[in-house]
Amino acid sequence: MPVSSPAYSAYRLLWSGLDLLFPPVCGGCGQTGSRWCGNCQQSLPKLSEPVCDVCGVPLEAAGLCADCQRARPRFNALRSWSAFDAPVRNALHRLKYRRDIGLGDALAVHLSEYVAGLNWPINVVVPVPLGRGRSHERGYNQVGLIARPLSLALRLAYVPGALMRTRETRSQVGLTKNQRRDNVSGAFRADGQLVKNKVVLLMDDVATTGSTLSSCAEALYAVGAQDVFALTVSRALTRHGLHSA
């Protein structure tokens, strides 16, 4: 794991103190004692190897998947910490709808170890932004609850304002791959002052087809980002109801 910065050490100390006063509940299984318990970490639904060199989807043999051979996404590579199964699915639901900031920090601890092992030459962390409607309705971006402490743990700049949505988009849930791509095409713009000549770690909670991340990467490259690597907490696969058409 990367050497912790003083800011991150203070951040972790704060949550440790709060957890002593108010015993936390595990976001994965609901047991009292920690925000992400050892049992949930041990049962983490990891993606089977090998995975596609670019989009990170599991394959039978190393190389590129058929989709990336036909139309390569704009990001350099996408990797996901886990598959979209319990207990991670439960934790992300809690983050999304209950604003469990401490859970975001707990997940960031494990994600920082995972990202460090990827050896990506990243220097800024950018979360995928919400649209105005969802941001106003929810009051926060759940991805930022993980991305911010992750940036502290990795000693990287956190720049949530680097990406903005240019228009509202439909929910991607239930859409086919082609519909997902069309839904988010041109839906983002980036701030070149924040990402020009930077190697970006682009972060989201769940990847399905990678269309949103690819569209975000395109916007980042358009304003001078040097490179874009994408990270998600989990990956939705065919067994989770992914439409292939």
**Which CATH number does the domain housing residue 167 bear?**
3.40.50
Q: Does 229 score more than 70 pLDDT?
A: yes
- pLDDT at res. 4: 60
- pLDDT at res. 21: 77
Average pLDDT, the chain: 88
Looking at the domain assignment, is residue 118 inside a domain? Answer: yes
Looking at the domain assignment, is residue 140 inside a domain? Answer: yes
- pLDDT at res. 190: 97
Looking at the domain assignment, is residue 245 inside a domain? Answer: no
Q: Does 240 score more than 80 pLDDT?
A: no
Mean pLDDT throughout 207-214?
93
Which has the higher per-residue pLDDT, 187 or 69? Answer: 69
Q: Which residues of 26-40 are buried (b: 16+ CB within 10 A; e: fewer)?
A: bbbeeeeebbbbeeb
Which has the higher per-residue pLDDT, 150 or 20? Answer: 150
Q: How many domains does the chain have?
A: 1
Mean pLDDT throughout 181-205?
89
Q: How confident is the model at residue 174 (pLDDT cuts 50, 70, 90)?
A: low
Looking at the domain assignment, is residue 69 inside a domain? Answer: yes
Q: Does 15 score more than 70 pLDDT?
A: no
Rounded-to-integer distance, Cα 200 and Cα 223, Å = 12
Looking at the domain assignment, is residue 1 inside a domain? Answer: no
Looking at the domain assignment, is residue 130 inside a domain? Answer: yes
Q: Which residues of 6-20 are buried (b: 16+ CB within 10 A; e: fewer)?
A: eebeebbeebeeeee
Enclosing domain of residue 106: 6-240
- pLDDT at res. 245: 34
Rounded-to-integer distance, Cα 116 and Cα 196, Å = 23
Least confident of 10-19, 80-89, 98-107: 10-19
pLDDT digits (tens, 9 = 90+) for 114-168: 999 999 999 999 999 987 777 777 888 999 999 999 999 999 999 999 999 987 6
Rounded-to-integer distance, Cα 142 and Cα 100, Å = 9
Instruction: Yes or no: say if 146 and 203 are a contact pair by the CB < 8 Å rule.
Output: yes
Q: Does 82 score more than 70 pLDDT?
A: yes
Greatest mean pLDDT range, 44-48, 64-68, 199-203: 199-203
pLDDT digits (tens, 9 = 90+) for 85-109: 999 999 999 998 888 888 999 999 9
Looking at the domain assignment, is residue 88 inside a domain? Answer: yes
Half-sphere exposure of 99 (CA within 13 A, CB side): 6
Looking at the domain assignment, is residue 206 inside a domain? Answer: yes
